[in-house]
Structure 1
Amino acid sequence: MLHEKNLFIISFLNSIHPLSPELKSFLFKNIETCTFEKNEIINKAGDICDRLYFIKKGMVRGYFVSESSEITTWVDSENEVFTSITGFFRNEISQEYIQSLEITYCDYLKYDDYKYCLDNFSEMREINRMLLENYYVMAEHRVYLARIPNASKRLEYFMGNSKPQIVDRIPKKYLASFLAMRPETLSRLMKERG
């Protein structure tokens, strides 16, 4: 019988692609659970992130610091996977910070265990491919969003391509940073939207 702590991520992965009993057993033994307090720094720029996290409940953001300003580059919430891309996949120092925006409950897999899964379980390679496809689609949305010259149209694009329930949960200063506009501009545009 699988323990409650790992059922969530195992059922999520199984929904992407059916898992063999052997992979389920490996994941059950190696997946860890953690909790981050609101505003906790999960990973710092300059560190190596060796964990791939899955959000059960909560929200996190990635950001970098430029001339003492924090620039939000992404926001993830429930049922999404996050890590430092260069830190995790290349085993290099991270270029960004990762911070929880709410109390956040995660499951995670360490890099060596993730690599073992890819090397030994074909279904994990298929899941990896599907997760990467999803990541690339989201990255394409972010690239497109960053190139829209009009603030109102950026907000409109973001609202049309985001889970509606998360928009109100993102602190406005971070949402404004992500959308490359001043908080006052975001506030005015949100009021105009009604």
Structure 2
Amino acid sequence: MLTKENPKKNLYILSFLNSIYPLSPELKNYLTLKINSRSFEKNEFINKAGEICDCLYLIKKGMVRGYFVSDSSEITTWIDSENEVFTSITGFFRNQRSEEYIQSLENTYCDYLKYEDYKYCLNHFPEMRHINRILLEEYYILAEQRVYLARIPNARKRLEFFMANMKPQIMDRIPRKHLASYLAIRPETLSRLMKDKS
């Protein structure tokens, strides 16, 4: 199924960005012209390995995962949901072909900004540079948590860390096979650990 453009833009991203740092009227006007919306059906690919992702997305509703394929196995590397920003880092910031797939896990609704428009905002609106810095800080904190999670040697402790520190509110929405992959736990081990917790 093809990605669908939404002609009725409610500009959810404007309120999101303004909550991070106040936007000037000029930046609001520019973003109003440049922001678009897209919806993705469950399991639809947003970006595939080998493609360049030139959009920065904000999830209004839904869930998305990033993964790569190794020896025919899918390895989930991140999972994002409402009010989170996602893209292919190498594709968006370096204009390089991505090595990862980005796929919706639910019917997902996003606002997005193209790279050239994002770059224009950084060059012409000081408040966008503040927002960029704050978003980068948040990204690095999440990346640090993922690195820490990946190095916890015990499966039970990895699950406990995830539930305590990352996204406990979306646990029941994540398909078990993708959560198991993200936590580097065999699906049957994850099922047993989840039963022990209930």
TM bucket normalised to smaller: over 0.9
Partners of 1:37 and 1:72 lie apart in 2 by 19
Structure 1 partner of 2:153: 149
Partners of 1:6 and 1:132 lie apart in 2 by 25
**Any idea what the Cα deviations from partners look like across 1:79-111, whole Å, max 9, x if unmatched?**
000000000011111110000000000000000
Q: Structure 1 residues 106 and 13 mapped into 2: Cα distance closer, same or farther (>3 Å)?
A: same
**Any idea what the Cα deviations from partners look like across 1:146-183, whole Å, max 9, x if unmatched?**
00000000000000112322111000000000000100
Aligned residues: CA RMSD: 1.1
SS for the counterpart of 2:127 is helix
Partners of 1:141 and 1:124 lie apart in 2 by 26
1:4 CA displacement: 6.8
Percent pairwise identity: 76
Uncovered stretches (5+) of structure 1, i.e. residues with no partner: none
Structure 1 partner of 2:3: none
Number of aligned positions between the proteins: 192
Q: Structure 1 length as normaliser, TM-score?
A: 0.97
Choose from 62, 77, 89 the match for 1:73. 77
Preserved contact between residue 162 and residue 168 of structure 2 (Cα < 8 Å): no
Choose from 127, 132, 149 the match for 2:131. 127
| Letter paired with 1:162 | M
Structure 2 partner of 1:111: 115
Preserved contact between residue 59 and residue 108 of structure 2 (Cα < 8 Å): yes
Partners of 1:43 and 1:116 lie apart in 2 by 23
Partners of 1:110 and 1:102 lie apart in 2 by 23
Q: Structure 2 length as normaliser, TM-score?
A: 0.95
Preserved contact between residue 61 and residue 72 of structure 1 (Cα < 8 Å): yes
Structure 2 partner of 1:28: 32
Preserved contact between residue 6 and residue 28 of structure 1 (Cα < 8 Å): no
Preserved contact between residue 11 and residue 111 of structure 2 (Cα < 8 Å): no
| Letter paired with 1:108 | Y
Preserved contact between residue 43 and residue 103 of structure 2 (Cα < 8 Å): yes
Partners of 1:151 and 1:119 lie apart in 2 by 45
Following TM superposition, the consecutive aligned residue runs of length 4 or more in structure 1 with deviations greater than 3 angstroms are none
In the alignment, structure 1 residue 40 sits paired with structure 2 residue 44: yes
Structure 1 partner of 2:182: 178
Uncovered stretches (5+) of structure 2, i.e. residues with no partner: 1-6
In the alignment, structure 1 residue 89 sits paired with structure 2 residue 89: no
